Amino acid sequence: MSLAPNPKLPGLHLASTGSYPRIGDGSELQILRRATASLDRGERNTADLLDAEHEMTRLAIADQLSAGLEVITDGQIRWYDPISHIASKLANVKTAGLQRYFDTNFYFRQPVITGTPKRSDALVAKDFSFARNALGHLPTPKNLAGKLSIKPVLTGPYTLAKFSLSAHTGNGAVDPFSSLEARTLAYAEAIAAEIVALAQIGASFIQIDEPAIIKYPEDWKIFEKAVSQLTAARDKSAAEGRRTELALYAYFHDPAPLYEKFITLPVDIIGLDFTYNPKLADLVASIGSPKPLGLGLVDGRNTKLEDAGEIARQIERLLPKIQGGCAYINPSCGLEYLPRDRAFAKLQLLDKIRAVVGA
């Protein structure tokens, strides 16, 4: 497959890929750590913790804004980890021991499904509302007026299911969640409900993170079914006049073997991690994309700052092959894996890259 070059170059936007460090080296950036530790010791209450989360969220948004990003997240400051933060808010899911998160040296609490996972309350919708309000209270740089949006992030149903266990007790009854497909589709229903809720309160983009699918491509059919449930929720909202775009992001592995399948998914944007395969850019340049891409060319896992000119040259090569009117420059993954000063430098780099592309 090879798509024709796009006669009109897409607009280039700067976007966050999700997380942002919730701690820095200065004392003022350690309020959340202190509040959490104090709460654990019983010296403070959950309201104190909430205050600290609010403040660190405001700071994460302020950093993104000052670096020139247009598509901003809340930094996922409140997330214990990408798996249990979502799964543990669902009814009939509890969490268990720590597991390593992909090839990072970061650990998540493994969900255990005890019954049908059900959305009984907002997963990230309240956080989205807070972030949008916080952004509204910051002075908007002139060049960004009318261009800013908050993008809520949800871990996708397949990745949640892949890292979940079933708590079936083995009492003779059939375990309804022993299969990956059953777990995935149950989570998909809950995530679909959250998409509807987010669309209802005005989220114009929603990022769905599915890093596990590029590590376990053999599960594509299950993954595809789950994506269909999510896009059906998006379409239902659109039919009711609440349009939102789904951005599917995959990282922490080489997406090249699945690239042609990714671009045929019915989502609106595909975000790819370019750091695992230096030839991925060649593949994208040769095949093209019928829809906007999130270009994860800036490494969100290493402190070394890339050369803006080199990345800009890659983007210039890709842009004519990207259809759908726009493309996004974003880090390869969330920036929580970097120290805060380096994470901010990576955000600033995005703007420098765009300036070179523009020049």
Partner 1 sequence: MSREKLERLGLQLPLFPTTSVGSFPKPDYLVRARADFAKGKITAHQLRDLERKATAFWIETQENLGVDVLVDGEMSRGDMVAYFAERLPGFTEGGLVRAYGNRYYHKPIITGEVSWPGPVIVESWQFAQSLTKKPVKGMLTGAYTIMDWSFNEHYPDRRSTAMALAAVIRKEVEALIGAGCKIVQIDEPALSVRSEELPIALEAMERTTKDLDGYFITHACYGEFDHIYPGMLDLAVDNFDLEMSNSDLDLLEIFRRHPFTKDISFGVVDVHSHRMEALEAVRERVEKALTILPKEIIWIDPDCGLKTRTVEQAIEKLRLCVEAAKSFR
> Footprint of partner 1 on this chain (CB under 8 A)?
21-25, 33, 36-37, 40, 80-81, 97-100, 102-103, 105-108, 302-304, 336-342
In this complex, which beta carbon is closest to partner 1, that of residue 108 or of residue 128? 108
Nearer CB in complex with partner 1: 6/277: 277
Q: Between 251 and 328, whose beta carbon lies closer to partner 1?
A: 251
- Shortest Å distance, C-beta 152 to partner 1: 21
SS3 309: helix
Task: Name the DSSP class of 267.
Answer: -
Which is nearer to partner 1, 128 or 337 (by Cβ)?
A: 337
Shortest reach from residue 244's CB to partner 1, in Å: 30
Least distance in angstroms from the C-beta of 261 to partner 1: 20
Residues 76 and 84: beta-carbon distance below 8 Å: no
**How far apart are CB 21 and partner 1 at their closest, in Å?**
7
Q: Least separation, in Å, of the C-beta of 80 and partner 1? A: 6
For residues 84 and 123, the answer to whether their CB atoms sit within 8 Å is no
CB nearer partner 1, residue 38 or residue 116: 38
- Distance, in Å, from the CA atom of 52 to the CA atom of 32, rounded to the nearest integer, reads 5
In the complex, the smallest distance separating the C-beta of residue 217 from partner 1, rounded to whole angstroms, is 14
Give the nearest distance from C-beta 302 to partner 1 in angstroms.
Answer: 5
Closer to partner 1 by Cβ: residue 193 or 305 = 305
Tell me, what DSSP letter sits at residue 265? S
Q: Is 36 exposed, middle or buried (0-12, 13-18, 19+ CB in 10 A)?
A: middle
Q: Which is nearer to partner 1, 102 or 220 (CB)?
A: 102
Q: Which residues of 106-132 are buried (b: 16+ CB within 10 A; e: fewer)?
A: eebbbbbbeeebebeebbbbebbbbbb
* DSSP state string for 95-120: EEEEEE-TTSS-EEEEEEEEEEEEE-
Residue 156 CB, nearest distance to partner 1 (Å)?
20
Smaller CB distance to partner 1: residue 1 or 98? 98
Scanning the chain, the segments in alpha helix (DSSP H) are 31-40, 46-66, 84-87, 125-136, 157-162, 180-200, 212-215, 220-239, 259-262, 280-287, 308-318, 340-358
Whole-angstrom distance, CA of residue 197 vs CA of residue 231: 14
Contact 73, 336 (CB under 8 A): no
Contact of 100 with 171, CB cutoff 8 Å: no
Residue 22 or 183: the one with the smaller Cβ distance to partner 1 is 22
- The answer to whether 199 and 243 have CB atoms below 8 angstroms apart is yes
**How far apart are CB 61 and partner 1 at their closest, in Å?**
19
